Amino acid sequence: AQSVTQLDSHVSVSEGTPVLLRCNYSSSYSPSLFWYVQHPNKGLQLLLKYTSAATLVKGINGFEAEFKKSETSFHLTKPSAHMSDAAEYFCVVSDLRNAGNMLTFGGGTRLMVKP
């Protein structure tokens, strides 16, 4: 069984300051991990994914995430927040052995960016 915990339901930062969205996972096997972003009234957009290559993954819009197996974490970071980053972020785990490649979603973290 696999599960994902996003430790913060809401995160508020000021524009230009760093962003940290936390994610911890559990998986029976070597997982694939993803971060998706959902802007209001929009569909999900893939930010980045980890699939057992480099542990530091760079994504779109300046976001990156580091896979830490010892801590079972996959936190999402960005050096400097922009107003357009305000959205809901989902950490997602997929067990490659899982038939159908079903994804397990975290509860989501709403990022608010203050001017």
Which residues here bind other proteins, judged by CB under 8 A? 36, 41-46, 49, 51, 90, 100-103, 105-108
The span from the CA of 34 to the CA of 47, in Å, is: 8
Quick one: 56 or 99, whose CB is closer to other proteins?
A: 99
Phi, psi of 68 (to 5 degrees): -120, 100
**Residue 105 CB, nearest approach to other proteins (Å):** 5
Nearest distance in Å: CB 61, other proteins: 13
Q: Of the two residues 17 and 45, which places its CB atom closer to other proteins in the complex? A: 45
Query: Do 63 and 78 meet the contact criterion of CB atoms below 8 Å apart?
Result: yes
Cα-only R_g, the chain: 14
